[in-house]
Each structure stands twice: as structure tokens, then as C-alpha cells.
Amino acid sequence: MELSSLAPNKGAKKNRKRVGRGNASGYGRTSARGEKGQKARSGGKVAPRFEGGQMPLYRRIPNIGFKSKKQVYGTNDYALVKCSDLEVLDNDTVVDMELLYKMGFKCSLKQQAGFKLLGNGELTKKLTVRVNAITKTALEKVQKAGGTVELL
């Protein structure tokens, strides 16, 4: 066997259909496009969503649900942090967004308004907490431990 003798299997390759080359070819005159109509014209295409003038599907189905821009872009959606998560820190630590990011908490500022401290768990460390929002119980726990809270 030599490279020059390689060829595809019989019937594997077909010649392309050459339309518009006279009636004797079998594909002359209308060139296999049928008679008249939009699809017989050059450049005549029908959009995939077009249903022949019938009310299209995307207008027949109902619009369900609504989310305000405020909700979507995060004026009332926070990344949540529990008091028990801050227990691993040392006394007199300043808890801000950078420290929370380093601790592994995620906050997408395009979709969320920032960090909110929740009162879940115990807090015994004296901390300075700088967050965007805080619950009443979390505020009480931070102040009871001797810390301070600054809202951003």
C-alpha cells in the first residue's frame, strides 16, 4: 500500500448538485426551488421563528414573574456573616470587607449590597466591626463583648 493509492470508499463522496445549468441537467429552469414564492427568490429566507403570520409563540406564552432592579442589583440583598464565624479572630481585630474576603466570604457587589452580620452563635471577642448592615441581636452581642460597630 502506498499513499498515492489511497482513495475514499466507493459511494462515500458525491458530486455536489450544480443547479441552473440548463434543462438537460435535470436542475434547470427553477433550479430545484419549485414555483414562485418567497423561498424561490434569491435572498429569500424565512426567519426560523416565523409562523406564517400566526401569532408567534414568544407572544402567545404569558409573561410570568417580575424582579425589581433594586432586588436584582442588590440594595436589599446581602452576603451573610454569622457572629460565630468571627469567633476565630483575635481581640481588637478590625473586621472589614477585606478581612472577610480573606476569610473566604464572597460578596458580589454588582448583585449584593455588601455584608450583613447576623446574631447566630456566640461572640466573646472584642472586635471593631465595619459592615453594611447588622441585626439587632448581632449588635447587642458585639457591644456586650466590648466591641464597636460602624455601618458603611
Per-domain residue ranges of the chain? 69-151
Residue 128: its pLDDT value, please? 93
Helix H or strand E segment including 130: strand 127-131
Distance between CA atoms of residues 41 and 53, nearest Å: 19
- Please tell me the predicted confidence (pLDDT) of residue 21: 94
Q: What is the mean pLDDT of each run of 10 residues along the chain (152 residues)?
A: 92 92 92 91 91 92 80 75 91 91 85 88 92 93 93 88
Task: For residue 96, give every residue at least 6 positions away whose Cβ sits within 8 Å of its Cβ, in sequence order, or none.
Answer: 130
**109 within 8 A of 147, measured Cβ to Cβ:** no
pLDDT tens across 84-118, in order? 999 999 999 999 999 999 999 988 777 788 899 99
Whether the Cβ atoms of residue 146 and residue 126 lie closer than 8 Å to each other: yes
- pLDDT for the residue numbered 50: 92
Name the pTM for this structure: 0.52
Q: What is the pLDDT of residue 72?
A: 65
pLDDT at position 65: 82
Architecture of domain 69-151: Ribosomal Protein L15; Chain: K; domain 2 (3.100)
- Give me the pLDDT at residue 114, please: 87
Give the pLDDT score at 68. 73
| Residue 30, pLDDT score | 92
- Under a CB-based contact definition with an 8 Å cutoff, are residues 113 and 93 in contact? no
